[in-house]
Amino acid sequence: MNSAAPAGTRVAAARWSALAHRWPSVVGLAAATLVLANGANRETLATIVSVAALCYLGAAAFDRPWVAWAGVGGASVVVVVSELAGLPWWVGIAVVAGVLVVVGLVGRVPRPALTAQTLALLGYGGLAVAALHLAPPVGLVLAGVALTAHGIWDVIHYRRNQVVPRSLAEFCVLLDVPLGIGFLVLAAIG
């Protein structure tokens, strides 16, 4: 008696296995879809790109890739607490970024990664904050460009498998690029 599973069952199992292996892509794309479906604005995009950059900086500051995943929740808390305290969310992000740089310097983590992630946060975060101070359509375009550009940063980290876990970089690519492009399209048509 042959105990092998029928061919159809094996194919279905292989598909589920492939999908489970790509869970960061699925979750990133699902998150991008939800944000687009809920009609987010430039503030949402600016927050997302700044949180993403802060997660990368956290991983570099502690020289521990897993910190990037923890940073997703941590940075989200920073945004909420900042706003509850009556501060713009980006002030909280900036304060935590400063603390992370000091932690990295005191901890003597590799300078190239810490420097690159600090500059990335300044660049992407700076564009994000600038987007908030422009006319809404122009700000939306700038935030969309910043988020899409961060997707390129994600791809670099995914390919190099450095600073952050590949799973986080994969998640971010499938969040940043579709979301950034989606809002660029929305800005163009309306």
pLDDT exceeds 60 at position 2: no
Q: What is the pLDDT of residues 109-145, one digit of tens each?
A: 999 999 999 999 999 999 999 999 999 889 999 999 9
Q: Report pLDDT for 165.
A: 98
Largest CA distance in the chain: 72
Helices assigned H by DSSP within 85-165: 89-106, 111-132, 136-160
The mean pLDDT value for 63-92 works out to 97
In residues, how long is the chain? 190
Scanning the structure block, which residue is given the tokens 């492939």? Answer: 18
The mean pLDDT value for 21-40 works out to 92
Q: Report pLDDT for 133.
A: 95
C-alpha 85: how far from chain center? 24
pLDDT exceeds 70 at position 42: yes
Q: Report pLDDT for 5.
A: 64
Please give the full DSSP string across 63-87, using - where no structure is assigned.
Answer: T-TTHHHHHHHHHHHHHHHHHHTTS
Span of 19-23, 153-157, 160-164, 185-189 with lowest mean pLDDT: 19-23
pLDDT exceeds 70 at position 99: yes
- Per-residue pLDDT band for 34 (boundaries 50, 70, 90) equals very high
Q: What percent of the chain has pLDDT over 90?
A: 81
> Domain map of the chain by residue range?
7-189
Classify 137 as helix, strand or coil: helix
Q: The whole model's pTM is what?
A: 0.88
Q: What is the pLDDT of residues 148-176, one digit of tens each?
A: 999 999 999 999 999 999 999 999 999 99
